């Protein structure tokens, strides 16, 4: 069976989704989970974009050991140099360099002739090869490029040392028949094509990213680029979990397989959804909450008698397990530590102490603690802000149907002083937010507020997600607590802290990268 390499770009293309802004700790956490999932290549970011991107790519390259780590660069020497500085500490430094090849991009964006584009592409691959053991080259907007021009430039960049040739459908425009033809034609036409792996990278503007990626695999692509939950700019990228499971379930047809540990899929999906704030729809293939729920009476009967009657994917395959009680009030630190490790976390003593304390206090209020609860507590701890500029110390809310909701909040400010304030609002959450805003002393605009429960039951943990605008910057934030008002306060403060943390490493408003 043919092995298909999985190239995950959740941290680069996925991170460009509107409203998504992952901090340093969150990127590291996602990279560690992608490594556990067994993706072949992690695209960790675009090192030349900003100091923040550079630092996170560097840290991921230095810590991830199983997957190969790559970073994106335009065909510009100083960007290739920046990528090298970020990636050189990795096990197998790999560069992803690109240039546009479609007439519309060459004429309007690059203002270069086709021959100049070839020269530039060859020069940058040669330059990259002086440092990087592995170089991938991408033809931006390949699917709207002249195919004979593509054949010409691909032959030259392979001669220059590129080992992977990626042909992105940058704008999500191609059809299955066309992409199959493109890959087949290039494999038949480019004389040195067997020296490189062909790669596909599809966008979902017409809802065809996954089927186009699979069509490319049929036509000989040996690498698929995708993101967890299909997140990405506009309608997003091809979703990793759908491609991986389609190749598994229909290997009789595709005769190809990935090296992924498929039962890590659900956890990876939940982690990315939680940290990015991009909710997975209930009916999403493979990872949606309804994907394995057989509600209809007739179906249910069939599934109970013989699961394959209506169920082509088993929940176990992708790591969906029933929510069982795993730990209780009397569980000790040792059992707790083992649980954390079985969930794939590598916690420091300090983190462990903090999370164990949070677990104990949760266990006092909630009868059954599930994997998902512990996962939520641990994620919260790991994804904590680098520096907590503001911290809530105490919160009290007065609410009744016949009076005005009033909140009193005690907070630590960045100077470490304790500040107390009170304010009213039309509802309890607004009263809390008005009070916190008063302590911060500057306007915090609330743009989105969402709440959900982790696991079922009346005693479930509440998770609040907010998006705010503060000091001219947008940020999202999350908070988890037993009580919805406490979770709301935490999410709000978390988002403000994120803005303040990000100000250390501002991302310059440069031209956006689309590959």
Positions touching Zn ion (CB under 5 A) are: 13, 515
Nearer to Zn ion, 170 or 406 (CB): 170
Q: Are 324 and 370 a contacting pair, CB within 8 Å?
A: yes
In the bound state with Zn ion, the residue whose beta carbon lies nearer, of 166 and 268, is 166
Three-class SS state of 366: coil
In the complex, the smallest distance separating the C-beta of residue 208 from Zn ion, rounded to whole angstroms, is 14
Q: How far is the CB of 201 from Zn ion (least distance, A)?
A: 6
Least separation, in Å, of the C-beta of 196 and Zn ion? Answer: 20
The sign of the torsion formed by the CA atoms of 281, 285, 291, 294 equals positive
Strands (E), 101-247: 134-140, 164-169, 197-202, 223-226
What DSSP state is assigned to residue 116? H
Q: Between residues 13 and 437, which has the closer beta carbon with respect to Zn ion?
A: 13
Map tokens 């000091």 to a residue: 471
Query: Roughly how many angstroms between the first and final C-alpha of the chain, as a whole number?
Result: 30
The Cα–Cα gap between 68 and 396 comes to 49
How far from the centroid of its chain's Cα atoms is residue 212's Cα?
Answer: 21
Q: Work out how close the CB of 171 gets to Zn ion at its nearest, in angstroms, rounded to a whole number.
A: 9
> Are the beta carbons of 70 and 90 closer than 8 angstroms?
no
How many alpha carbons lie under 13 Å from residue 487 in its C-beta half-sphere? 22
Q: Closest distance between Zn ion and the C-beta of residue 511, in Å?
A: 15
CB of 210 to Zn ion, least distance (A): 14
CB of 85: closest distance to Zn ion in angstroms?
Answer: 24
The nearer residue to Zn ion, 47 or 161, going by C-beta atoms, is 47
d(CA 441, CA 438): 5
Shortest separation between residue 168's beta carbon and Zn ion, angstroms:
6
Contact between 432 and 397 under an 8 Å Cβ cutoff? The reply is: yes
DSSP secondary structure, 474-509, as one string: EEEEEEEESSHHHHHHHHHHHHHHHHHHHTTS----
CA 197 to CA 195: how far, in whole Å? 7
Minimum CB distance to Zn ion, residue 469 (Å):
27
The two structure tokens encoding residue 86: 């970020």
Longest dimension (CA), the chain: 80
| Beta-carbon contacts of residue 251 (< 8 Å; ≥ 6 apart) | 1, 257
Q: Which is nearer to Zn ion, 247 or 515 (CB)?
A: 515
**Closest residue by beta carbon to Zn ion:** 13
Nearer to Zn ion, 213 or 494 (CB): 213
Copy the structure tokens of residue 382.
């790991």
Yes or no: say if 44 and 56 are a contact pair by the CB < 8 Å rule.
Answer: yes
Q: Which residues contact 164 (CB under 8 A, 6 or more apart)?
A: 134, 135, 136, 137, 196, 197, 198, 199, 223
Nearer to Zn ion, 363 or 515 (CB): 515
Give whichever of 7 and 345 is closer to Zn ion, judged by the CB atom.
Answer: 7
| 8 A C-beta contact, residue 281 and residue 288 | yes
Q: How far is the CB of 513 from Zn ion (least distance, A)?
A: 9
- Compute the least distance from the CB of residue 11 to Zn ion, in Å: 13
Comparison of 110 and 422: residue with beta carbon closer to Zn ion: 110
Q: Measured from the CB atom, is 13 or 35 closer to Zn ion?
A: 13
Name the DSSP class of 195. G
Rank residues 209 and 454 by Cβ distance to Zn ion and give the closer one.
209
Whether 5 contacts 486, CB under 8 Å:
no
Is residue 101 within 8 Å of 117, Cβ to Cβ? yes
Minimum CB–partner distance for residue 245 and Zn ion (Å)? 21
Closer of 161 and 172 to Zn ion (Cβ): 172
Read out DSSP for 328-350?
-TT--HHHHHHHHHHTT----HH
């Amino acid at each position: 069976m043919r092995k298909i390499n999985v190239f995950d770009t959740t941290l680069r293309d996925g991170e460009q989704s509107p409203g998504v802004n992952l901090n340093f700790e969150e990127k590291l956490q996602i990279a560690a989970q992608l490594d556990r999932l067994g993706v072949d290549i992690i695209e960790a970011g675009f090192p030349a974009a900003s100091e923040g991107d550079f630092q996170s790519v560097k840290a991921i390259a230095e810590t991830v050991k199983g997957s190969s780590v790559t970073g994106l660069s335009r065909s510009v020497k100083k960007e290739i140099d920046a990528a090298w500085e970020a990636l050189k500490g990795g096990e197998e430094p790999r560069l992803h360099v690109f240039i546009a090849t479609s007439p519309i991009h060459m004429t309007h964006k690059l203002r270069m002739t086709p021959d100049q584009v070839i020269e530039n592409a060859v020069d940058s691959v040669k330059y990259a090869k002086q440092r990087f053991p592995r170089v991938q080259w991408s033809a931006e907007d390949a699917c709207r490029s002249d195919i004979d021009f593509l054949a010409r430039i691909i032959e030259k960049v392979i001669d220059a040392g590129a080992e992977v040739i990626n042909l992105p459908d940058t704008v999500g425009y191609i059809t299955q028949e066309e992409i199959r033809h493109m890959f087949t034609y290039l494999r038949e036409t480019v004389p040195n094509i067997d020296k490189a792996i062909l790669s596909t990278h599809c966008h979902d503007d017409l809802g065809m990213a996954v089927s186009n990626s699979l069509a490319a695999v049929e036509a000989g692509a040996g690498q698929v680029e995708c993101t967890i939950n299909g997140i990405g700019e506009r309608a997003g990228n091809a979703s990793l979990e759908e491609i991986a499971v389609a190749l598994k379930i229909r290997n009789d047809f595709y005769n190809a397989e990935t090296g992924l540990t498929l039962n890590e899929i659900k956890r990876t999906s939940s982690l990315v959804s939680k940290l990015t704030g991009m909710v997975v729809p209930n009916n999403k293939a493979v990872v949606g909450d309804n994907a394995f729920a057989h509600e209809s009476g007739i179906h249910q009967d069939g599934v109970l008698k013989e699961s394959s009657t209506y169920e082509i994917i088993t929940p176990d395959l992708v790591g969906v397990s029933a929510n069982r009680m795993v730990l209780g009030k009397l569980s000790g630190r040792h059992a707790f530590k083992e649980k954390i490790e079985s969930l794939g976390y590598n916690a420091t003593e300090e983190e462990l102490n903090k999370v164990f304390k949070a677990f104990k206090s949760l266990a006092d209020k909630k009868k059954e603690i599930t994997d998902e609860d512990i996962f939520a507590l641990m994620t919260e701890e790991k994804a904590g802000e680098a520096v907590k500029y503001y911290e809530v110390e105490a919160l009290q809310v007065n609410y009744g149907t016949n009076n005005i909701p009033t909140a009193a909040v005690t907070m630590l400010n960045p100077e470490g002083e304790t500040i107390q304030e009170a304010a009213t609002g039309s509802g309890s959450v607004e009263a809390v937010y008005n009070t916190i805003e008063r302590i911060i002393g500057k306007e915090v605009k609330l743009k989105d507020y969402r709440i959900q429960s982790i696991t079922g039951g009346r005693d479930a943990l509440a998770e609040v997600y907010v998006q705010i605008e503060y000091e001219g910057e947008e940020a999202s934030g999350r908070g988890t607590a037993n009580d919805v008002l406490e979770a709301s306060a935490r999410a709000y403060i978390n988002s403000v802290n994120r803005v303040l943390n990000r100000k250390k490493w501002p991302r310059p408003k440069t031209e956006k990268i689309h590959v």
